[in-house]
Chains A and B, each alone.
Chain A
Amino acid sequence: MPQGDYIELHRKRHGYRPDFFERKRKKDAREVHKRSAFAQKALGIKGKMFAKKRYAEKATMKKTLAMHSERTNRHKIDQVEEGAVPAYLLDREETSRAKVLSNTIKQKRKEKAGKWEVPLPKVRPIAQDEMFRVIRSGKRKTKQWKRMVTKATFVGAGFTRKPPKYERFIRPMGLRFTKAHVTHPELKCTFNLEMIGVKKNPNGPMYTSLGVITKGTVIEVNVSELGLVTPAGKVVWGKYAQVTNNPENDGCINAVLLV
């Protein structure tokens, strides 16, 4: 029920101003100059934001121009199709069942050995005084045997603290995480999955046992949501993922699923 058509109504009844079109044309022509003046004079955050916006505009403009000129472009047809095989190999089969089996066995052996192919093979070593903070205790605050973990941790569902008098490592509640944002590397989508445990922390076995999560840690996540099924027909509900960010700086754990 638009009642804002009074403008059109007026135009229908009385027409345009005598100089309307000329003024409009001139105003639009001036817009270009105004915009460029602004772009040149704007300083500070305003200037940066405008520059960013303008850059995005220009990029899309360039793309569309390139698209439009696609017709006149010439392409070399030099590519080879995926899976194309030279003539002398045509008769052979690519992989046989035996090969598949042997690959599975090799993987199992690797698993046993604890060697993994992970997205982040090397991580920055973290020193102990970066990881732990000394907590003074005692009547005169002279005892310094307690430590507080300063990184993100995972403690598990049934976790109960040791009596405060005896606990050496304090894992504060504010830094305990239960969920991780896990990305599937092939599907390229991210899921918010619950963690089951910390498998290995590259900085040392002590950190693994404490459950500290830093960049490069391998964690186990609950993937029952994804509905993955083994070739045998069993439902997969836990998979490993490697952490790719610094959780204490971002407030969340981002990981990549290890397939």
Chain B
Amino acid sequence: MVLYNFKKITVVPSGKDFVDIVLSRTQRQTPTVVHKGYSISRIRQFYMRKVKFTQQTFHDKLSTILEEFPRLDEVHPFYGDLMNVLYDKDHYKLALGQLNTARNLIEKICKDYVRLLKYGDSLYRCKQLKKAALGRMCTVMKRVGPSLAYLEQVRQHMARLPSIDPNTRTILICGYPNVGKSSFINKITRADVEVQPYAFTTKSLFVGHTDYKYLRWQVIDTPGILDHPLEDRNTIEMLSITALAHLRAAVLFFIDLSGSCGYSIAQQAALFKSIKPLFANKPLIIVCNKTDLQPLETLAEDERQIIQELKKEASKCAAGQLINAVPDDDDGCLLTMSTMTEEGVIAVKNAACERLLQQRVEVKMKSKKISDCLNRIHVAMPRPRDTKERPPCIPQAVIEARAKSNANRERKLEKDLENEHGGAGVYSVNMHKHYLLAVEDWKEDVVPEIIDGHNIADFVDVDILQRLDELEREEDALAEAALANDDEDMSEEELSPEEMQALAVIRRKKKKLLEEHRLKKTTADSRPIVPRRHDKDREYTSSRMGRHLVSMGLDPSAALNRVRSRSASRRGRKRERSTIGEDDADAMDIDQPSKRLRARSRSRSQSRALTEAIPGEGFKDTAQKQKAVKLAQKASKKRNKNARRGEGDRVIVNLKPKHLFSGKRSIGKTDRR
């Protein structure tokens, strides 16, 4: 079932455009430079190539045109006839023949001039020969110009032909103009054919598609036909005649009972008789339209007579083709309907489809191909040996077991529940039913899973209530201790002078730390990238701290305990959260300032001031150390900028950077392009 697609034909350019296209293609795709001083064979080759290339291009383009246009003898006769009616077969063939001749002429020209080019002994001569050759080819194309224009018109028109499949199920609608054919097709399909009160509104075939019994049907609307002999018919009427002649379709012949189309019933009957030969082998139905204006029953007697005659003739046609015809049921051939009120429209369609389907099935059954199909399907039934009954044999025990299992099924299955409550997509299982909880009512409680962005499951602990009690106890204890210690005032006026001094020292230290930090931040460039490790000799131990505290006159035990309890190696971090809460009350305690600081920065190393002169280092005083520090920083700046880790780092990351080894030198040496 080849569906003819005439839309894929390439555009046919006009004569001038064709020449332009080919010549510009030659100019672009062949070498363009040739000089007088080249060797003569090179010059010859250059020009011969151009001539050959042009000929090749012409040949290719003309060949595509000739191949893509359909040959009227090779398409379905319906399309062949249609195109003959529309485009005149002779003209079409002549145009294509002219293109073919042009192609051959161009080939000859190419051969002649390539032969002459072999004797070209100067650039001028070869160039003139090439000019002459190309000029002649273009003249040939210019002469063929009108054919090209005609073919372009044909192509455009062909691309817009409606896609009618000549082999599939089709319903053809014919009749006088203005009878209601286009309204009918608008009713049963989605085709939007123009309906107007003047004759010959439909000037061409229109296709619509409809469905019947899960099959796709084509409905073809034709222009109206007038009653005159075949030779006098114009192009538009010839379209309908072509369609009637070549398509194996169910034919619906429309009659206008009211005469509002401008033709009497007698005239329409005469038309029917004259095109009867076209209805051979086609299921025919006579449709009386516009019954809202003029119902069949109230028709005048003589007109009724005419209609009856038509019916008889139609049924004769029908009887001739079908074996299981409807000879006694004449109504199958004549139907009434009205497209305005839409009564009987579907009935007509169904009747037509049914008749055609029957016919097609019959034809298929009679043809040879169906037997191949039938042969492949074979339902094998074993031949009965005798008339004895042989029912299936089931042992008694199985029957009893089955009965028992059916009885056991008092328990309601989930599946039964599902079926009860609406089926698979509707019922959703209640998963909370089987929870084991302390209180049964809690089963249906809604428990949130995420609060404030945290998973509740992370925080739920098995013995969470115990912990809660412990925490509350600790807090109470701390509060009491704080109250106990609250005898001392925290205000500054009641501090003793030594305490004041200590406070001052602490404050200064803090300030210095802050300053140094800020300094470090601003001079990040001058800092060595690898930081000095704090305490790489590991001398800041908890025992040292204890000694220091003792030397200051404080009790170290609590601090030591805390430090030990909080060392990272001992416990997991979560535990430490509870102990931190305790410390907050002591935050401002002057006695153990370092504890607080230490508590805060457990894992971070606390760096000392860089310029503070430590006794064991060897500097006279802070000033000297500062100077030394400055010198060290200055020295390391250059290294830092080169991403060197230290003075001994001589690694070159990129031994051959591309920008030094590639490219042309404008000025300068290779090491600094």
Contacts and interface: CB of A to CB of B under 8 A. Distances in A.
Given A1-B203, A150-B121, A175-B119, A250 B157 contact: no
Given A1-B161, A3-B162, A249-B128, 13 more contacts: A2-B157, A3-B160, A45-B24, A150-B121, A172-B119, A174-B116, A174-B119, A175-B116, A175-B119, A249-B132, A250-B128, A251-B116, A251-B129
Contacts of A4: 156, 160
Interface in A1-37: 1-4, 9
A63 interface: no
Given A45-B27, A175-B119, A249-B125, A1 B205 contact: yes
Interface string B118-158: 11010011001100110000000000000000000000110
Interface string A99-121: 00000000000000000000000
Contacts of A45: 24, 27
A2 B112 CA distance: 45
Nearest to A173: B115
A169 to B, nearest CB: 15
B320 to A, nearest CB: 32
B84 to A, nearest CB: 12
**What 9 pairs across the A-B complex have the smallest Cβ distances?**
A1-B204, A249-B128, A3-B160, A250-B132, A174-B115, A4-B160, A251-B116, A251-B132, A249-B125
Contact of A174 (B82, B118, B157): B118
A194 interface: no
Nearest to A247: B116
A1 B119 contact: no
A1 B118 contact: no
Nearest to A172: B119
Contacts of A250: 128-129, 132
B113 interface: yes
A1 B129 contact: no
A178 to B, nearest CB: 12
B162 A251 contact: no
B271 interface: no
B162 A133 contact: no
Given A3-B161, A249-B128, A133 B121 contact: yes
A191 B112 CA distance: 20
B112 A251 contact: yes
B86 interface: yes
Nearest to B121: A150
A2 B160 contact: yes
A181 to B, nearest CB: 12
B239 interface: yes
Interface string B150-175: 00000011001110000000000000
Contact of B113 (A1, A2, A150, A251): A251
Contacts of B86: 1
Contacts of B156: 4
A252 B132 contact: yes
B487 interface: no
Nearest to A151: B119
A45 B20 CA distance: 11
A40 B20 CA distance: 21
Interface in A217-259: 246, 248-252
A248 B125 contact: yes
Nearest to A246: B128
Contacts of A251: 112-113, 116, 129, 132-133
B113 to A, nearest CB: 6
B204 A2 contact: yes
Nearest to B196: A12
B204 A3 contact: yes
12 contacts: A1-B161, A1-B239, A2-B157, A2-B160, A4-B156, A133-B121, A150-B121, A174-B119, A246-B128, A248-B119, A250-B128, A251-B129
Contacts of B232: none
Nearest to A53: B16
Interface of A: 1-4, 9, 45, 49, 133, 150, 172, 174-175, 246, 248-252
A49 B162 CA distance: 41
A105 B541 CA distance: 148
Nearest to B193: A9
A92 to B, nearest CB: 51
A250 B194 CA distance: 61
A72 B125 CA distance: 53
A199 B194 CA distance: 77
B163 to A, nearest CB: 10
Contacts of B162: 3
Interface string B547-590: 00000000000000000000000000000000000000000000
A1, A150, A252: most-surrounded residue (chain B CB, <10 A): A1
Given A4-B160, A174-B115, A249 B121 contact: no
A1 B85 CA distance: 10
Interface string B236-247: 000100000000
A153 to B, nearest CB: 11
Contacts of A252: 132
A192 to B, nearest CB: 13
A246 B128 CA distance: 10
Nearest to A149: B119
Contacts of B132: 249-252
A252 B115 CA distance: 13
Contacts of B121: 133, 150
A1 B116 contact: no
Contacts of B205: 1
Contacts of A2: 157, 160, 203-204
Nearest to B120: A248
Contacts of B133: 251
Contacts of B204: 1-3
A91 to B, nearest CB: 55
A249 B119 contact: no
Interface string B196-239: 00000001110000000000000000000000000000000001
Contact of A249 (B20, B112, B129, B194): B129
B207 to A, nearest CB: 10
Nearest to A12: B194
Contacts of A9: 194
Nearest to B114: A174
A2 B115 CA distance: 49
A196 B332 CA distance: 84
A252 B121 CA distance: 17
A150 B160 contact: no
A187 B124 CA distance: 33
A102 B593 CA distance: 151
A133, A174, A246: most-surrounded residue (chain B CB, <10 A): A174
Nearest to A248: B125
A199 B6 CA distance: 60
A175 B121 CA distance: 13
Nearest to B113: A251
Interface in B88-130: 112-113, 115-116, 118-119, 121, 124-125, 128-129
A95 B418 CA distance: 129
A1 B128 CA distance: 50
Contacts of B203: 1-2
A3 B239 CA distance: 14
A250 B124 CA distance: 11
